[in-house]
Every structure is written in C-alpha cells, then in structure tokens.
Structure 1
Amino acid sequence: MKEKFLGGLLVFLGACSFGVLSSIVKTAYKAGYSLGEVTGVQCFLGMLILWIIHLIVKTFLKPKSTATTTHNPKTNRLKVCAVGIFPGLVGICYYQCVQLVPASIAIILLMQYLWISIIIDYVIFKNKPTTTQILTVITIIGGSCLAAGLFNQDIRLNLTGCFFGFLAALMYSLFISTSSNIGNELPKLEKSALMITGACIITFIIFPPLFFFKLNLNDQLYQLGFLLALLGTVLPPFLFSVGIPKIGISLSAILSAAELPVAVTCSYFYLKESVYFNQWIGVIIILLSIALSNLKHLKRNK
C-alpha cells in the first residue's frame, strides 16, 4: 500500500503544479502575447528540458533499463509520442477557453474530465467505479461550482469558449487514460520526453513557431514560457507517468482535482483577485473530498 500512497501523492503534486498555470497564462496575455506564442514556447522549452535531463541521467547515472519490450520497441515509442497529442491539445483548448469565457467557467468546464475519465475507464478498460468514487466525484463537482465563483457573477456564456473548454476536458481525460496504459515499460523520463515531443509537434502544426524569428532570448515570453514548461509540461507528465499506474485512472482523476483549489489560491495571492467566502467553502469541500477518498489507503498504509 506504500506504492499506492506514493502514487497518489505524486498525482496530487502534479495537479497542484497544473493549478498555477492559469495565473502565469493571464500574465502572458496581459503582456500582449498570443495563444500560439504561449503554447508554442511552453511545449518547446518543456521538450528541451526533458530531453536534456533524460540524456544526462542516461549518460552519467546509467540507470538500469526497465524496458521489457521484445516485440517492437520503436513502435511503442511512436505510440507514446502519439499520446503527447492529448496534453498538447489540452493546453491549446484550455488557454483558448480562458480567452473567451470567465476563468471560473473555464475551470468548471475543464473539471468535467472527472466524470469523463470514469466513463472512459469503465467503457474501455471495464473498471467499474466504486460507490465511494461516484459520491466523491459528485461532491467535487459541487464544490467546484462554489470554488469557481459560479454564483458570484452574471454569466454571459460564449458558446465557442464552452466548446473549447469541454474539448480540453475530453483531451485531458484521454491523456489520463492512455498515459497509464501505454509505454509503462520505458524509463519514466524518456516516456515524459516522448509525450511532450508529441505535444510540441501538434502545437507547431496548429501554430507554426514564427515567434522564434522575431523574439530575442531576453524576451519576457521565454521567462514566462520557462515557468509554464516547468510547472505545466515537465513536472506534471512525469509525476503522472509514475503515479497513475500505481493507483489507477479513476482515483487519479479524483486526486488531480486539486488543480482547482490551487488555481483559486493563486488567483487570490498572486493576481490579487477577489475570492468570496463561498469560494473558499468550495475549496475546503474539494480538499475534504480528496482526503476522505484516500482514508482507506492511509489506514492500510499504517
């Protein structure tokens, strides 16, 4: 049970890392940068960092290979690279959604991956959700509505923005599902680097990286891009690739809901945005739901 507890902790930390991204992205938009520039720099720097770390570890530390593949390793690596399409599309769709609808609505739309992931887990992998998981998801969704401030403002929905938000949730669900079932025989760093390479490729296909020719290395975009790459591209995929196989898709979907309370906290302390009392109540509800869903694992670990 120690492995399950560690896996849950890694997934939780990965979600917390994701939670700070919206504040950084808003800073980039206020500085005048476009969707293509923000997503492109994030993916490129993330890919670069991961491959450098992987090559350093492989060259100097010489870890024992965990690969057990005897059929077609090249094909498996191509599949892992293809999985990177999903996190690449998550970034593009979610950042586009943030531009078109209020941030609170964008977060709510992204949170729909909770029930989508459990449906995918049940339909494709035949893992029936437990009653506790179902109740936890319902509670988290209710807490999400409070934490996002859904009842504190007049809402004018942009249908295009809603479409991109729901699409981001779907891509996120597919990423969670596929990353736990493909490429687990590869070293974790290599798997993460391959996935982000796929994300970078799909991003550059949609948004050709023309900004490379008009920006210098001291440009603020690269500074913000490095933070986005570290907290949104390097750490979460690696933590998820290690943690998700240990605890399963459904529990991973629940734990990764920690992204929302972190996002609300960052908006209050970093962006100086107003966060109402009922939003903090929603944050507490989500955190309690996450804690209660893992009490069984904590007791067994003791």
Structure 2
Amino acid sequence: MKEKFLGGFLVFLGACSFGVLSSIVKTSYKAGYTLGEITGVQCFLGMLILWGIHIIVRFLKKSKNSSTKKHQSTKKWKVCIVGVFPGLVGICYYQCVQLVPASIAIILLMQYLWISIIIDFAIFKNRPSSIQIVTVGIIIVGSCLAAGILNETFRLNLAGCFFGLLAALMYSLFITTSSNIGNDLPTLEKSALMITGACIVTFLIFPPLFFFKLNLLDPLYQLGFLLALLGTVLPPFLFSVGMPKIGISLSAILSAAELPVAVTCSYFYLKESVLLMQWIGVIIILSAITLLNFKNLKKGA
C-alpha cells in the first residue's frame, strides 16, 4: 500500500508541476518570444540538467560501490523514441496556449483522460473499473466548469482546438509508453534519454537558430530554465517513478491535477479573472481525485 501511495503522490506532484507551465508560456509570448524559441530552450536546458544530474549520481554511486551492475534489457534508443511524445506534447500544447485562453488549452489537453483509458483497454486489455469511469465523468464535468465554458463570452478557435486535442493524444501515448518501456533503467537515465528524444524532435521541427541570436543573459534562458525544471525535468522523472507503481488508468486520472493548478496560477500569477463557477469546478476535480486515490489505497490495504 505504501508503494502505491508513493507512486500516486509522485504522479500527482508531477501533474502539479506541469500545470504551472501555461502561465509561464503566456509570459514568454508576451515578452515576444516564438514557439520554436520557447520549446527549444526548454528541451535543451532540460536535457543538460538531466544528463548532468545523471552523470553526477552515477559517479557518486561508482565511487561508493563498484560491485554488481543491474542487467538492463531495454535498448536505450527505444527510450529516446518515447521522448518524441513529450516533445510533441510541448509543441502542440504551447501552440494551443498561444491560440486560446490557458483554461481552454488545459481542458483540451485533459482529453487525454479518456484517450489513455481507451488505449490501455485496446492495447493491454485492462478494463477500467466502474469507479474510474465515474470519476473520469466527474472530472470532465468539473473541468468544463473550471474552464468557464458556461461563460457567455466563450469563443472557440478551431486551430487551437486541433493543437490541443493533438497534444492530448501525444500525452496519452507518452503515458502509455513511459509506463511500459525502460523500467529496468535507472530513473534518471530513463528521463535523460526521453528528454534527449524530445530535444531531437523539437530541433528537427524548429532548428535552434536562437543560439546565434540571443546572448546568455537573455530573459528567454531564465524563462526556459523554469519551463525546463517544471515541465521537462520534474514531471518525466516523477512519472517514471510513479506510473509503474499505480498503472496507466490511475496515472491518467491523477494527472488531472494539472487543471486546478493551471487555473490557480492564471488567477494569482497572470491576474486573469476566474469566476466562482470555475472555482467550483476546481473543487469538484480535487474531490474526485481524492476520492479515487482513497478508494484505491483502501483496496490495497
């Protein structure tokens, strides 16, 4: 039970970290930076941080104990390919954030909830439990309220919706593949390999020309560091540790915590107006997540 609780907590924490990103991205756009610059700097700095931490930890472990080495059956290039999905999530989601309000972008990304459960059932034949289905329904209802869809001024941007739903699909594929590939590798190494794949696909789509245009003191690198830490370093690491302990479906639902975090950040950080109905939606989502996690912990006791 303790292991399942720890896994759920780590996935929840990773989702909270991911929920802060939309506010930082909005700030970056207001400062005049482009999608390619934002995603490129985030992936590049995230890759440097993760590989740096991995090399330091590996050196310290070798100096302490150079005896047994854990057998690794996973080919590292496969983990790099998994990293393509979070790379595409960042590109599609940040493009969505540019085209629609942050709260709507989160709602579109939240569609990974039911997509992940369908993928889990279709590929691995894991039937969702009745409590999971009910909780997903509650979360979706709460999400609609939290996004302010009932507001009369709500407008739909088709291009933004397309990129948001594409980000949701990529996120679902990341959840599925990350939970099933590379679990025999050290967590830091797995995260570093995934971010390397994300960096490669990002630079293929957006060549890193900003290296030649910006100096090292440019504010983009400060914003990029925050994005790298909260969106590239922490979530993949926490998901890599937590997801194998609790499974795909529960991971997808716990990851919904990013929505209330995003709404809260938009209110306190971006100073955006958040209606009472939106706060009620946030409370509904948090209640559903708490109920589901409590039920699973009780079941595993």
Q: How does the TM-score come out when normalised to structure 1? A: 0.96
1:241 Cα deviation from its structure 2 partner? 0.2
Aligned equivalent of 1:69 = 72
Cα 1:214–1:65 change in 2 (3 A) is farther
Deviation readout 1:84-120 (Å, 9 max, x if unpaired): 0000000000110111222222111100000000000
- Corresponding residue SS for 2:131: helix
Work out the CA distance in 2 between the residues paired with 1:301 and 1:247.
11
1:300 Cα deviation from its structure 2 partner? 5.4
Aligned equivalent of 1:208 = 207
Aligned equivalent of 2:27 = 27
Work out the CA distance in 2 between the residues paired with 1:279 and 1:65.
54
1:153 Cα deviation from its structure 2 partner? 4.2
- 1:107 maps to amino acid: I
- Corresponding residue SS for 2:271: coil
- 2:72 maps to amino acid: T
Aligned equivalent of 1:157 = 156
Percent of aligned positions that are identical: 80
Aligned equivalent of 2:134 = 135
- Contact map agreement 1:118 1:250 (CA 8 A) in 2: yes
Aligned equivalent of 2:92 = 93
- 2:104 maps to amino acid: I
Work out the CA distance in 2 between the residues paired with 1:84 and 1:114.
20
- Contact map agreement 2:83 2:193 (CA 8 A) in 1: yes
The reply on whether 1:222 has 2:221 as its aligned counterpart is: yes
Deviation readout 1:133-168 (Å, 9 max, x if unpaired): 000000000000011111124233222211111000
Aligned equivalent of 1:51 = 51
Deviation readout 1:210-242 (Å, 9 max, x if unpaired): 000010111000000000000000000000000
- 1:296 maps to amino acid: K
Work out the CA distance in 2 between the residues paired with 1:267 and 1:81.
33
Output the aligned Cα RMSD. Answer: 1.4
Q: Where do residues 163-242 of structure 1 align in structure 2 (5 Å cutoff)?
A: 163-242=162-241
- 2:188 maps to amino acid: L
- Contact map agreement 1:5 1:301 (CA 8 A) in 2: no
Aligned equivalent of 1:2 = 2
- 1:47 maps to amino acid: M
**How many aligned residue pairs are there?**
298
1:68 Cα deviation from its structure 2 partner? 2.7
Unaligned runs of 5+ in 1: none
Aligned equivalent of 1:250 = 249
Aligned equivalent of 1:18 = 18
